[in-house]
Structure 1
Amino acid sequence: MIVSHKHKFIFLKTKKTAGTAIEAALSELCGPEDVITPYREESESDRKGLPPQNYRIEHPLKPKRSLWRRLMRRPERYYHQTVGFYEHMPAERVRAYVGEDVWRDYYKFAFDRNPWDRQVSWYLYKTKSKRTRPSFEQFMSSRRRAYVDNHEIYMPGGELSVDFLGRYEHLEEDLNKALEAAGVKERISVPKVNVTPNKDGARDYRSYFSPELRALVADWYAPEIKLLGYDF
């Protein structure tokens, strides 16, 4: 996620919506005081702008490192809440850290994606290192493993907390709409980074779903489906 004091915008990063590519593009606009959270080391080489910066903070609401991690001298990884700002940070925590004045005055945006398509992308990502990939049905049998909590990032408590919610399907167009609304004059392009390999080739996402799994996704992600009007 990014907090740009230079341009007065906040980008909330959701999952499987090209968030890393968006960050790579936005980091080229950022200034030295802006917050840029890290992402996976193997993707950092694709970042053309400023590197991760200003994400380690002290704040009374920031979770503390566990005692066993401190005793074992385990490093704080980029996604740990104990560092301060982190990549898939929900709106209410960002709001608490930046304060009401910044939250009110800055332009806030996020992205989401057709939940059925996103679910297949999540499955391919979460199982990409498996020697034998479980079936999609097996993967979906565990909500804890399969659920993607995107709407909790930008809709805490069911209330939309951003000024603009773009669509993955119109990624570059919507990103530039958001930046224009934030007052950024420069148009930017979005690079292709952190793309999950699809071992199934060009298989359509719809082919993964039984009627039961289709209904399950509709139930899990009813808030974003209702908000953005997605259908199967």
Structure 2
Amino acid sequence: MNLRQLRSIAAWHLGTARWVFIHIPKNAGVSVRKHPELEWRMIPADPYFHISRDYTRRLAAFMAERGEHHGFQHARWRDLHPKVRNRLRAVAVVRNPWARVVSRFRFAMTARNFGKTPEDYAPRDFEAFLEERHVYGGREFYWHRAIRGWYPQTDYVTDEEGRLRADCLRLEHLSEEAVRYFGLSKPPARRNRSRGEGADWISFYTPRTIQIVADWYARDIETFGFDFDTAATRNVWATRPEPSED
């Protein structure tokens, strides 16, 4: 257990934590989690806050057997202990699913180039990468993975009945939304960006691959109102009606 984890436990027990962060992979989660103004006000989904020790042990063993990093902090809302879910407000960042797939693909390329993963960990071809959804899409615990994680974003922020349980900020507008939502003096710094992250992700797609992603992430698209080249348009914090002054 490191100092950051100890601080999160202290924030929980001292009552300074207001939020629990649901870290959907490749959605600027590191930027939010490491904002200095949130150190004592928000906790991540560390093992201490998981639904049970058995969950954490099974996750760690499962990933170790496959040579994967545990990715503890990518636990979903439903994987958190009921005490955490009941006391703290959950918050997450969502993003355009087509852009997110390209970000995961670029992250795979960067990880391989820097020797972080084996050469054959992920395909070099984008269309071949998309086909990996059939390999890893429903694999247990793979919501904790970034490159090989094909679970929809809605899976992270809903309960077992499909009800939305988190306030969702939009990555495409994160600078302004995070400042307003958390009451920050400055926006989160961009961290952990894949090489070429700011480049044109739209050029990766053909009509066929656009439809592949649309079909696979249909629930995200329906829930959050995504179009191919837009941010979420519904069921996010920014689109809630302003409270009445009456």
TM-score (norm 2): 0.64
How far residue 63 of structure 1 moved from its aligned partner, in angstroms, is: 2.7
CA contact (8 A) 2:50 2:56 kept: no
* Aligned residues: CA RMSD: 3.5
Report whether the alignment pairs 1:229 with 2:225: yes
Aligned partners of 2:179 and 2:89: how far apart in 1? 13
Structure 1: segments with no counterpart, 5+ residues = 39-54, 180-184
CA contact (8 A) 1:79 1:87 kept: no
TM-score (norm 1): 0.68
Identify if the C-alpha distance between structure 1 residues 21 and 64 changes in structure 2 by more than 3 Å, giving closer, same or farther: closer
How far residue 178 of structure 1 moved from its aligned partner, in angstroms, is: 2.7
Q: Which residue is equivalent to 2:88?
A: 106
Q: Indicate which of 21, 24, 35 corresponds to 1:11.
A: 21
Identify if the C-alpha distance between structure 1 residues 218 and 78 changes in structure 2 by more than 3 Å, giving closer, same or farther: closer
Q: Per the alignment, in what secondary structure is the counterpart of residue 105 of structure 2? A: helix
How far residue 79 of structure 1 moved from its aligned partner, in angstroms, is: 5.7
How far residue 106 of structure 1 moved from its aligned partner, in angstroms, is: 2.4
Q: Which residue is equivalent to 2:180?
A: 177
Q: Indicate which of 38, 44, 63 corresponds to 1:29.
A: 38
How far residue 65 of structure 1 moved from its aligned partner, in angstroms, is: 3.8
Q: Which residue is equivalent to 2:124?
A: 134
Identify if the C-alpha distance between structure 1 residues 9 and 59 changes in structure 2 by more than 3 Å, giving closer, same or farther: closer
Identify if the C-alpha distance between structure 1 residues 35 and 62 changes in structure 2 by more than 3 Å, giving closer, same or farther: farther
Matches within 5 A, 1:183-222: 185-198=183-196, 202=199, 204-222=200-218
Identity %, equivalent residues: 24
Structure 2: segments with no counterpart, 5+ residues = 114-118, 137-147, 229-246
Letter of the 2:97 partner, please give it: P
How far residue 60 of structure 1 moved from its aligned partner, in angstroms, is: 4.6
Letter of the 1:111 partner, please give it: V
Q: Which residue is equivalent to 1:161?
A: 165
Number of equivalenced pairs: 191
How far residue 148 of structure 1 moved from its aligned partner, in angstroms, is: 4.6
Matches within 5 A, 1:39-54: none
